[in-house]
């Protein structure tokens, strides 16, 4: 059974669909939620007639310190939770474990950061970028970390509104470069950006960024095949093992 003292009730606000199986979910907490950008929250539903609550971990895309929480979620039709999330109506109640956890956070010992993601794996990077932007705007930070974000999907619409947000940061700041790429351009004829999977274009943009390796951290989040291949690229480029971080969203069988 669920120990309610360890959980907060969330109110479902809205779902923004990018594709039939991809959407941003927005929830509202009763009080501002503090966490380290890049961490994940455990959210889900509680059935009075079930033996155990139905809970899953999702990376938080929103910045800390707000009552509004955002998650980029892929629906798994054979899954237990996500099909039910798609059935929610605004105002529905969910539960979130009060303690948001995870070690996939910014390596603050390094100034330069290369971030590779597949589809929903961009969520932690969105939180990190939003947090830095707010810190710079408020004067809490004066020297920004430098980010190179590579974001891959099969088709461009699967990049969602994050494509627009990161593209705007690329144009408007000197601290973030954004490289979106699609791997099925024949299904997306209007796309005129990079072509291929993230690992196909990673080395080119890593080399072009010219980040000093001894001050650079690398991050991979999303599909395990991308993570394994990208980490090999980072290692061959000369990054040390302790400078490479990963967050796999599922384990291949």
CATH of the domain at 190: 3.40.50.80
106 within some domain:
no
Q: Do 69 and 135 belong to one domain? A: no
What confidence tens digit (pLDDT) does each residue in 124-138 have? 999 999 999 999 999
Look at the chain and report how many structural domains it folds into: 2
87 within some domain:
yes
Q: What CATH number is associated with residue 84?
A: 2.40.30.10
Bridge partners for 148 per DSSP: 114, 177
What confidence tens digit (pLDDT) does each residue in 71-98 have? 999 999 999 999 999 999 999 999 999 9
Predicted TM-score (pTM) above 0.85: yes
Q: Which residue has the tokens 């650079």?
A: 216
pLDDT category, 251, cuts 50, 70, 90? very low
pLDDT category, 1, cuts 50, 70, 90? low
DSSP state of 190: T
The span from the CA of 166 to the CA of 171, in Å, is 9
Q: Do 163 and 126 belong to one domain? A: yes
244 within some domain:
yes
Q: Do 243 and 119 belong to one domain? A: yes
Q: Do 75 and 125 belong to one domain? A: no
Half-sphere exposure of 81 (CA within 13 A, CB side): 16
Half-sphere exposure of 106 (CA within 13 A, CB side): 21
Q: Do 78 and 149 belong to one domain? A: no
- Domain of residue 176 covers 112-248
Q: Do 146 and 228 belong to one domain? A: yes
Q: Do 174 and 88 belong to one domain? A: no
What mean pLDDT do residues 145-156 have? 98
Q: Do 228 and 117 belong to one domain? A: yes
Q: Do 119 and 38 belong to one domain? A: no
The span from the CA of 220 to the CA of 116, in Å, is 5
Q: Are 145 and 175 in contact (CB under 8 A)?
A: yes
102 within some domain:
no
Half-sphere exposure of 163 (CA within 13 A, CB side): 17
Q: Do 239 and 154 belong to one domain? A: yes
253 within some domain:
no
Q: Is the pLDDT of residue 49 over 80?
A: no
Domain final position from 68, 97, 126? 97
For the chain, give the mean pLDDT: 94
């Amino acid at each position: 059974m669920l120990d309610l003292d360890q959980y907060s009730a969330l109110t479902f606000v809205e779902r923004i669909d990018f594709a039939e199986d991809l959407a941003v979910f927005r929830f509202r907490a009763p009080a501002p939620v503090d966490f380290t950008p890049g961490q994940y929250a455990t959210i889900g539903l509680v059935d009075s007639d079930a033996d155990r609550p139905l809970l899953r971990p999702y990376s938080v895309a929103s910045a800390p310190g707000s009552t509004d929480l955002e998650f980029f979620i892929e629906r798994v039709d054979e899954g237990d939770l996500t099909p039910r999330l798609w059935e929610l109506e605004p105002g529905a109640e969910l539960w979130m474990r009060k303690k948001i956890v995870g070690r996939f956070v910014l390596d603050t010992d390094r100034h330069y950061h290369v971030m590779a993601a597949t589809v929903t794996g961009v969520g932690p990077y969105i939180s990190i970028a939003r947090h830095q932007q707010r810190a710079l705007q408020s004067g809490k930070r004066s020297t920004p970390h430098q980010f190179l974000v590579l974001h891959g999907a099969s088709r461009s619409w699967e990049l969602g509104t994050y494509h627009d947000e990161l593209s705007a940061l690329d144009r408007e700041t000197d601290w973030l470069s954004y490289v979106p790429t699609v791997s099925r351009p024949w299904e997306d004829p209007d796309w005129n950006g990079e072509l291929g999977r993230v690992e196909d274009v990673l080395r080119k943009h890593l080399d072009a960024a010219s980040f000093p390796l001894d001050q650079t951290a690398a991050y991979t989040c999303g599909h395990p095949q991308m993570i394994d291949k990208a980490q090999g690229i980072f290692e061959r480029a000369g990054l040390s093992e302790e400078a490479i971080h990963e967050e796999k969203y599922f384990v291949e069988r």
